[in-house]
Amino acid sequence: MKKVERSLTGLLGKPYMDAVTGAAAVLLGMDSGQARKLAEEKVDFLPQEWLRRMDAMLDRVGEQICPPVADTVQGAPTNAFAKAANSQASPVSGFGYYRLGEDGRLYLASKSEHYHTPMGHNFPGYRLIDNARALGVTNATHNNTRGYITRLCERELVRCANGLARGDVQGLEKVLASTERHVLNRVINLETGSLACEAGIKMMLARFYRLDKTFPAPKYSGKIPVFFVMQDYDGGAMANYHGTTVLAQTFRDMWPELYAGAEAGRLYEVCPIAINNIEDFKEKFARYNTGNYKAAGLIHEIILMNYGGIKLHEDYLQEVYRICHEGDTPILCDEIQSCMWYEGMFLFRLYGLNPDFVAIGKGFPGGQYPASRILLSAEMDNLNQFGALVTNGQEELASLAYLITMEYAQENAEEIRDICAYYEEQAETLKARFPSVVERIEGQGLLSAVTFRDVGETVRFVQLLQEECIDVSAQVYKACCPPAALLKLPLIASRTMVDWMIQRMAGVLTRMKTEAGG
């Protein structure tokens, strides 16, 4: 990885930091020299010694390296959370792609703590957040007082989402002023991916229903809105996942009686579309974009990490986008799970897509804060301030975490591309070596799934790796979902770490083959 060093002044600009250091002297009584020192301190985002230390500890994964927590607590969970709890693996501390559990053992965070930590634990670059906090930069703001860092972050997101070069101020201003369709130039700051997706769904609905009585009749008032989502292999809608709000849950076969009532009342309908089947989409789009119906929107991920890690094909999505754009149907690309895991930070750009909404989160703040965003075009900017806001969505230090992560990712774009390609190559060797067990390797880059021929084999594979304190999960509970083991290695993974991980997986597969008498 390339060496990245930045100070708060270098990242946020001198005029703003002059104001911050001046305020630190007046409000906090801080010595002006000390304040300036904090503002100018260059932080090495990922020192070479840090990387060497991570690689050197690989063979200690699974070892008890510290005493366990002597007297833990159970909390007050619901029944479902209590049943799923694994407090032994709960974090006491973390270092890079390691987590120290309450049992004192060293765990490998090979799922990046469910996408939250692309930079691993205690990423050194986030020390800039500590410096900002020491200088009195407040985290809490309000929607009407969005801070400088948040506003700067919004501009950077728009610049990167539109593929503009750094320093292209003229190009950025042109994009920000654009009213052309499918140009992402608005940002709503939220806290969770669920709320980001919900905001997009509401803006799609606003073309059919008024947000409140002050709004004029929408463009498609009187039409029945139909939402397209990914279909599972049993014909249902369980292959999609766009958050935990009630509306989004009805899109994936939850709250069936509630949805049936909405459908009977002709309020909206959900139409699942077959994965990577363009003829199926064409037929359903034609059926639901005429007469009393109107195609209200397509909502999709690119890598279905909640359905076997299946990857949607580029040519399929490009044709789907063409049809939707011609039919005046907005598209929400849900990158909550895929954002930041690829060269350029946005997977939709690698696919050559031009969505109307992009939901992002998890990866950008690096696990430091719950901070999601939805990017949208001017055409879709159809709600008032209270239609999609979250009171705490504008947090300044959360936006700073975004900028730090983005800075590292941009400087290391080639390295990120290379480690993704290297992992893919090495993962494919597992299929070649164990064809009787491994069906295929799904996903793309570090977001991957090892798909097995049998559910029992998937469960056994995950069980054996978890016994070695390697964090892998099984996805075997959805309708006709390919039985898959999910992995999401951090972006800071080295080739040494990838080789070690592949070796451990191969060892488990060899053991399974022996157990089966193969």
pLDDT in tens, 301-350: 999 999 999 999 999 999 999 999 999 999 999 999 999 999 999 999 99
Within-domain flag for 116: no
What integer pLDDT is reported at residue 389 of this predicted model?
75
Q: What percent of the chain has pLDDT over 70?
A: 99
| CATH at 479 | 3.90.1150.10
Q: Are residues 469 and 377 part of one domain?
A: no
Q: 32-41, 141-150, 381-390: which has the minimum mean pLDDT?
A: 381-390
Q: Are residues 451 and 346 part of one domain?
A: no
The residue behind tokens 């040494």 is 496
The residue behind tokens 């709320």 is 195
Q: Are residues 381 and 454 part of one domain?
A: no
What integer pLDDT is reported at residue 467 of this predicted model?
96
| CATH at 238 | 3.40.640.10
Q: State CA 422 to chain mean position distance.
A: 21
Within-domain flag for 95: no
Tens-digit pLDDT profile for residues 272-281? 999 999 999 9
Q: Is 226 a residue whose pLDDT tops 80?
A: yes
Q: What is the rounded distance in angstroms from the CA atom of residue 320 to the CA atom of residue 331? A: 10
SS (H, E, C) 378-416: HHHCCCCHHHCCCCCCCCHHHHHHHHHHHHHHHHCHHHH
Q: Are residues 236 and 154 part of one domain?
A: yes
Tens-digit pLDDT profile for residues 436-454? 999 999 999 999 999 998 8
Tens-digit pLDDT profile for residues 43-96? 999 999 999 999 999 999 999 999 999 999 999 999 998 998 899 999 999 999
* Residues across the chain: 518
Q: What is the rounded distance in angstroms from the CA atom of residue 120 to the CA atom of residue 130? A: 17
Within-domain flag for 70: no
Q: Please report the DSSP string for 237-303 in residue order.
A: STT----SSHHHHHTTT-SHHHHHHHHHTTS-EEEEE-TT-HHHHHHHHHHTSSTTEEEEEEEE-SE
Domain of 21? Answer: 1-44
**3 Cβ neighbours under 8 A, 6+ residues apart:** 44, 46, 48
Q: Is 371 a residue whose pLDDT tops 90?
A: yes
The closest of 353, 13, 356, 334 to 155, measured between CA atoms, is 13
Q: Is 476 a residue whose pLDDT tops 80?
A: no
Q: Are strands 293-300 and 224-230 parallel, antiparallel or unpaired?
A: parallel
Within-domain flag for 477: yes
Confidence label for 130 from pLDDT (cuts 50, 70 and 90): very high
Angle between helices 148-161 and 169-177 (to 10 degrees): 90
Q: Reduced to 3 states, what is the DSSP secondary structure of residue 185?
A: strand
Q: What is the rounded distance in angstroms from the CA atom of residue 372 to the CA atom of residue 311? A: 23
CB 434 within 8 A of CB 511: no
Count of domains for the chain: 3
Q: What is the DSSP letter of 92?
A: E
Within-domain flag for 14: yes
Q: Are residues 417 and 405 part of one domain?
A: no
Q: Are residues 378 and 248 part of one domain?
A: yes
Within-domain flag for 90: no
Within-domain flag for 67: no
Q: Are residues 312 and 172 part of one domain?
A: yes
Give the DSSP H or E segment for 106. Answer: strand 106-108
Q: Reduced to 3 states, what is the DSSP secondary structure of residue 505?
A: helix
Q: What is the rounded distance in angstroms from the CA atom of residue 194 to the CA atom of residue 14? A: 36
Within-domain flag for 101: no
